[in-house]
Structure 1
Amino acid sequence: MSYYNDVANNCTYGVGTLAHLGFRTSAGRQRPLSIAQVNAKLATKVRLTERIVRRNVRNHELTQARFDAQVSFAQNSGEGGSRDTFATANSGNDRLVPSNMSLCVYVHPRDAHGHLLPPPRQPPS
């Protein structure tokens, strides 16, 4: 129930809700958040994302589990970032959807204090 910097160093709260671009400020650290505020924002985001999935995946019926996965993915990737995954789901190729989603997963290695580590050095070829 507090503000923190996400992996892109943007001020975020709750379950990944963007407060603003850029680092959290000292004022943001002191501004309280209630569970009700966090849950209300999350519920609104989920409802909007469910509409996005329904609008984009019309040609193939999704099971509840697949619909939930599409909503979770689209909530993190946005409508534009989910377009290829929606198209794959729309085509009925359920086996390719997870591998398509995994293309959008980026790992940001961090040290014990949460600071981003530089990318690993590539060995000379």
Structure 2
Amino acid sequence: MGKNKGHCTWGAGILAHRGVCTPEELSKKVNVEMVDQEFERRVAVAERAVRRNIRVPLNQSQFDALCSLTYNTGPTGASGTYGYINANDLAGAADNISRMIKVTVKEKGKKKLVIAPGLIKRREEESAPFRVKQARAAK
């Protein structure tokens, strides 16, 4: 997002908190082991959320895609997609995931939604397992 924009992250895009990093946070040293441990912890949290919220069978690709989405948006952000999946509306889930490409930014003291180019490809990849299954079911 640029200097003094977006949210404070570290390592592999691990969200420390909403809002920009303080100078103290920016000067904190982190190592690969710290990043790996925190990443693994947060992936496990996302996996538990998917298991807790999904009530229909998923294949491995669908589970992985939902874990990726949940890791990125949190369970609350992914809840709409969970609803589509639990209703066996996989096309709806895929479309919902694909629409999740905007982020809130602050410009001149006002918040606005903008398309995050990096999310377009990510959401395409996360929605694909739900589109593939739907296409196979139609044959």
Give the TM-score of the pair, scaled to structure 2: 0.66
- Contact 2:46-2:70 within 8 A present in 1 as well: yes
RMSD value, Cα: 2.9
The residue that corresponds to 2:88 in the other structure is 92
Which 10-residue stretch deviates more, 82-91 or 99-108? 99-108
After superposition, the Cα gap between the structure-2 partners of 1:10 and 1:107, relative to the gap in structure 1 and judged at 3 Å, is closer
Calculate percent identity across the aligned residue pairs: 30
- Contact 1:5-1:24 within 8 A present in 2 as well: no
CA-to-aligned-CA distance 1:52-82 (integer Å, 9 cap, x gap): 1011111x21110000110111111111111
For 1:1-125, list aligned pairs within 5 A: 9-58=6-55, 60-106=56-102
After superposition, the Cα gap between the structure-2 partners of 1:6 and 1:37, relative to the gap in structure 1 and judged at 3 Å, is farther
Larger radius of gyration: 1
Deviation at 1:27? 2.2
After superposition, the Cα gap between the structure-2 partners of 1:119 and 1:69, relative to the gap in structure 1 and judged at 3 Å, is closer
Structure 2: which 5+ runs fail to align? 106-111, 115-139
Name which structure has the greater RCO, CA cutoff 8 Å, separation 6+.
2
Structure 1: which 5+ runs fail to align? 110-117, 121-125
SS in 2 for 1:12: strand
Give the TM-score of the pair, scaled to structure 1: 0.73
More strand by share: 2
Q: Using the alignment, how far apart are the partners of 1:6 and 1:87 within structure 2?
A: 37
- Contact 2:14-2:39 within 8 A present in 1 as well: yes
